[in-house]
Structure 1
Amino acid sequence: MSLQVMSVVPLEKGKARIRFDDGTEVVLYKGEIRKLGIEEGCVVTEAVYDKILNEILGKRAIKRAMHLLEKQDRTERQLYDKLKQNGYPESCIESAIAYVKSYHYIDDFRYASTYIRYHQEKKSRQKLKMELMAKGIGRDLVDAALEEEYVSDDQKKIAELLQKRHYSFEDADVSEQRKNYQFLLRRGFKSSDILHVMKQERQ
């Protein structure tokens, strides 16, 4: 198998994007491109292509993944998106993710559990679930983490938030009631819990 180089586009920081005739794109340093003898219109052998993916970009993707995880914990989806944004080919991204997963440097269940423990005092169960799923964590993992970690009482939390907002159950007019009701809905609390607390406080 051989591939033709369709274009070599200069980028910042001494890099260039190479596009092959099969649609694959890779980003290499200009020094690496010169060393490999790559230029627009040339044909790249299978051996050279494998060297680019495995020896150069494969190792670089792993190092980049490790660097990203040193800065902050990430979900598998977040790490994938970041590496994709950095211009790594699909095969290199998959290999890098498999590597860090094998050492438990990424663990979506651990991430979800930590996130729930840290945020549950301010957010409802449903809000936490929505946010974690938006980060790319599967529903089953999120549900399992919530079952294990979530201990907050949503109705108690609603009452505390309303108190912090200096909401007076006795003096609030209809407009203020609606405003606070909508605020709590946006936080992910159930309508039934919000109304229960408001009704209870008015008794």
Structure 2
Amino acid sequence: MEIIDIVPHKRFENKVVVYMDNYEKYTLSLEAVYKRSLKKGRIIHKEEFDAILIEENYRAGKTKALKYIERGDKTFSQVSEYLEKKEYSPQVIEKVMGFLLEYDFINDERYAERYVKERKRTDGKNKIKYALKKKGINEDIITEKLLDINEEEELEAINKIVNKKIQTLIRDGKDEYFIKNKLYSYISTKGFYGDCVLKSIKEAIMENRDLIYEHQRNKEEKDKENIMDVASKRYALISKSESNNLKLKKKLYDFLLRKGYSYEDIKGVVNEIISNE
């Protein structure tokens, strides 16, 4: 292979474009040109030039990887996949990863330990395990680091989440059965499981039972006021064109059912409106 020409790169001051006699061109650093004594007219073996390209890509890949890690701690798998997406060759990726491991820029055990420490207050073991596996952490490492979460810490986290969530459900006027199921479903999405979850939910409901019934009654009263208001207005409108009580009642029922009210609530309200007429 013969170097036909070497010209400055149009965009990067520290790079040049090397033109070869096979009509191919390559971007190299000035450092590589000086270090390898590359110049116009020089004959160079393909093996030597391939080695130069690998070295150049290694340098670039190493810089890319370090900048990627600077934005936040990463796992071995995450950095490898990042370099693959940047279309670096397997040889280059292997060299870059070796460098990062040698100088402890990446360490999956350290990453898993930090992740568990940060998330154990908000996430259960199942969710943490899934997240770490997705990040490419070895399952043995995950299992070992999850042992750092003791039962007391886990129960404290569960209680905190349950007690916060139940207040929202109570304010919405939900009944006890709904609250219990919703809490279990919600806490499951956080990755918690086992008897400690059931115990926490049971205790939270018992502690808030009076409040649950109070808000539920308030909601029922408001719902009844609301349906009465809607039904009364609709009745006034329908009765202008419909004098038959049976047809009028059916139209009112149909309208309120489409609004999403329960049959029992509709029945009581409609009977009350009709009997007052």
Range 72-81 or range 44-53, more displaced: 44-53
Cα distance, 1:194 vs. partner? 2.1
Identify unmatched segments of 5+ residues in structure 1.
3-12, 15-30
- Which residue of the partner structure matches residue 61 of structure 1? 61
- Which residue of the partner structure matches residue 78 of structure 1? 78
Q: In percent, how many aligned pairs have the same letter?
A: 21
- Which residue of the partner structure matches residue 27 of structure 1? none
Give the counterpart letter for 1:183 in structure 2: Y
Cα distance, 1:189 vs. partner? 0.8
Cα distance, 1:195 vs. partner? 1.7
CA–CA distance in structure 1, aligned partners of residues 68 and 205 of structure 2: 51
Aligned equivalent of 2:187, options 171, 179, 184: 184
- Which residue of the partner structure matches residue 150 of structure 1? 149
- Which residue of the partner structure matches residue 7 of structure 1? none
CA–CA distance in structure 2, aligned partners of residues 122 and 62 of structure 1: 35
Give the counterpart letter for 2:113 in structure 1: S
The aligned length equals 171
CA–CA distance in structure 2, aligned partners of residues 109 and 161 of structure 1: 28
Question: Given the superposition, is the C-alpha separation of residues 160 and 59 from structure 1 closer, same or farther in structure 2, using an over 3 Å criterion?
Answer: same
- What are the equivalent positions in structure 2 for 1:36-51 lying under 5 Å apart? 36-37=19-20, 39=23, 45-51=46-52
Q: Is the 8 A contact 1:36 1:48 kept in 2?
A: no
Q: Which one has the largest radius of gyration?
A: 2
Cα distance, 1:88 vs. partner? 0.9
Q: Is the 8 A contact 2:183 2:201 kept in 1?
A: no
Per-residue CA deviations over 1:43-70 (Å, capped at 9, x if unaligned) read: x9222222211x2101111121122122
Per-residue CA deviations over 1:92-127 (Å, capped at 9, x if unaligned) read: 111101101001110000011111111111111222
Q: Is the 8 A contact 2:180 2:205 kept in 1?
A: no
Please report the TM-score for the alignment, with normalisation by the length of structure 1. 0.73
Bigger relative contact order, structure 1 or 2 (CA pairs below 8 A, ≥6 apart): 1
Q: Is the 8 A contact 1:83 1:93 kept in 2?
A: yes
Range 154-163 or range 84-93, more displaced: 154-163
Range 190-199 or range 60-69, more displaced: 190-199
CA–CA distance in structure 1, aligned partners of residues 129 and 111 of structure 2: 13
Q: Is the 8 A contact 2:74 2:111 kept in 1?
A: yes
Cα distance, 1:202 vs. partner? 4.5
Q: Is the 8 A contact 1:61 1:88 kept in 2?
A: yes
CA–CA distance in structure 1, aligned partners of residues 178 and 187 of structure 2: 14
Give the counterpart letter for 1:87 in structure 2: E
SS at match of 1:35: strand
CA–CA distance in structure 2, aligned partners of residues 39 and 180 of structure 1: 68
Question: Given the superposition, is the C-alpha separation of residues 160 and 88 from structure 1 closer, same or farther in structure 2, using an over 3 Å criterion?
Answer: same
CA–CA distance in structure 2, aligned partners of residues 182 and 202 of structure 1: 15
Does the alignment pair 1:139 with 2:136? no
CA RMSD of aligned residues (A): 2.9
Please report the TM-score for the alignment, with normalisation by the length of structure 2. 0.55
Aligned equivalent of 1:174, options 171, 174, 177: 177
CA–CA distance in structure 2, aligned partners of residues 49 and 36 of structure 1: 14
- Which residue of the partner structure matches residue 114 of structure 1? 114
Cα distance, 1:164 vs. partner? 1.3
Cα distance, 1:132 vs. partner? 1.0
